[in-house]
Amino acid sequence: MDSVRLYAAVARGSFRRYATYRAATAAGVFTNTVFGLILVYTYLALWDERPHLGGYDQAQAVTYVWLGQALFAAVAIQGGGFESELMERIRTGEIAIDLYRPADLQLWWLASDLGRSLFQVLGRGVIPFVFGALFFPMALPRDVGTWAAFLVALLLAMVVSFGIRYLAALSVFWIMDGRGVTQALMVTGLFCSGMTLPLNAFPGALGDVVRTLPWAAQLQMPADVLMGETDALGAFAFQVVWAVALLAAGRLVQGAATRRVVVQGG
């Protein structure tokens, strides 16, 4: 129970920390809304030419766009969460302080990132999504059960996202510079999550591959659960498998890294 209270306090602290950046949050809401408008009209033109592309009708395509904008920061599709701070702490040697804490390194950062994600959903995601629902036809469920299933899928998406970025951050134990890794996260997140185009619309073998990668758990799975395009239990299973695999891999890499860590300056 003491551990639960500790990590809950870390999550609350992270939530409050991001809540202080009001100007940045307002700018993020504006940016996501503008990009949502650009993508919506692009999707509408594309779906006019290719009706039911990826198995979606136009209302579902519009819903997908606004959901992507709502979750862009929450699941850190292009990075921008805890990983930059962790990379810097590893590079400077401040990670030694984290390792001396009476807390698990991975769980500490997971709790911190979940607090950040929750704030980004509420502070940056809700307004663009509501704006889209007010001004465009969207395929939203009417039953509470589907919304509840979506929230579960969203939480699992956050954990999968953390797992990807935690592994990326730990690579700095070896390469000592996270800029290249950060750029790789941005590219893979944008392409493989379906942020640019739903993964269901990817053709042939490429589509088969990207739909099996962990990035599919970030946006495609929550979107399909919300719109009733997939079985919720099957989506949960996909996300849980990747969450467990990534967290386990992170645990192994963390163990290997901390056994060899040398703090700069001795």
DSSP 139-170: ----SHHHHHHHHHHHHHHHHHHHHHHHHHHH
Q: Is the pLDDT of residue 114 over 50?
A: yes
pLDDT per position as a tens digit, 223-256: 999 999 999 999 999 999 999 999 999 999 999 9
pLDDT per position as a tens digit, 177-193: 888 899 999 999 989 99
pLDDT per position as a tens digit, 196-207: 999 999 999 999
Q: Is the pLDDT of residue 265 over 50?
A: no
**Secondary-structure breakdown of the chain: helix, strand, coil percentages, each rounded to the nearest 5:** 75, 0, 20
Please classify residue 149 by burial: count the beta carbons closer than 10 Å to its beta carbon, then call 0-12 exposed, 13-18 middle and 19+ buried. buried
